[in-house]
Amino acid sequence: MSDATIKGLPPPPVKYDGSNQRILIVHARWNDTIIQSLVSGCVAKLKEQGVKEENIVIKTVPGSYELPFATQRLIAGSQTQSSVNAPSLLGASTANLVNLLTADEPSTPQPSSAATTTTTASTGPFSAAISIGCLIKGSTMHFEYICDAVSHGLMRVQLDTGVPVIFGVLTALTDDQALERAGLGRKGNKGHNHGEDWALAAVELAAQSAEWS
């Protein structure tokens, strides 16, 4: 038997189709180098799975502690909007479906083209959400409290809203652990970008939960 690790996720049994999915990414801005790499890897893999660029909505919060609240509000908002404005996603012009990497901008609805519906970009329920953060242990108990709150908070959001929420939060004991999990390792091993795995999990859960419900 080789020394290779047995840990990890094998390739999915089928390739899930994300072409009709609308995916929310909410990311913290703490530990920005790592976050940027995780988000880029995640977006690239979502597109590989067929998710359209205009159906990837990215929002930011200051730190990981804010992730559960923001994720919950954004999911709930998308569900409310879609019930008010039912024929949203499929009939809407892609130009009107917000807003890749305009994270810090409020998502301003664009005027619809005459050829499409009057639906605006920001309507349509999210098929799944990916909450991304990076917690790195310091010298106090802060790390433990935030890890605990965020993991429980995000679990609660997905069970309460019925929308899959992918746990994209690195909980690293050292900078190097975090860098390796963002594909940025600096000790001769670049590691693996976990943002890619989170994208695959989101598309799979979105596809499966549509069938399970």
Q: Mind telling me the catalytic residues?
A: 142
53 vs 144, beta carbon nearer ligand DLZ: 144
In whole angstroms, the minimum distance from the beta carbon of 105 to ligand DLZ comes to: 21
Tokens of 146: 């935030």
> From the CB of residue 136, how many other CB atoms can be counted at a distance below 10 Å?
18
In whole angstroms, the minimum distance from the beta carbon of 140 to ligand DLZ comes to: 8
Pairing of strands 128-136, 56-61: unpaired
Query: DSSP secondary-structure letter at 40?
Result: H
Q: Please report, for residues 137, 167, 171, 179, 190, the alpha-carbon distance to residue 174 in angstroms, rounded to integers and kept in the order given.
A: 7, 19, 9, 9, 15
In whole angstroms, the minimum distance from the beta carbon of 62 to ligand DLZ comes to: 4
- Three-class secondary structure of residue 109 per DSSP: coil
67 vs 207, beta carbon nearer ligand DLZ: 67
Closest residue to ligand DLZ: CB criterion = 63
Q: How many residues does the chain have?
A: 213
CA distance linking residue 120 with residue 81, whole number of Å: 10
Binding residues for ligand DLZ, per CB under 6 A? 28, 30-31, 62-66, 133-136, 138, 142, 146
In whole angstroms, the minimum distance from the beta carbon of 22 to ligand DLZ comes to: 25
15 vs 142, beta carbon nearer ligand DLZ: 142
134 sits in the region (left: phi over 0; alpha: psi -120 to 50; else beta) called beta
16 vs 65, beta carbon nearer ligand DLZ: 65
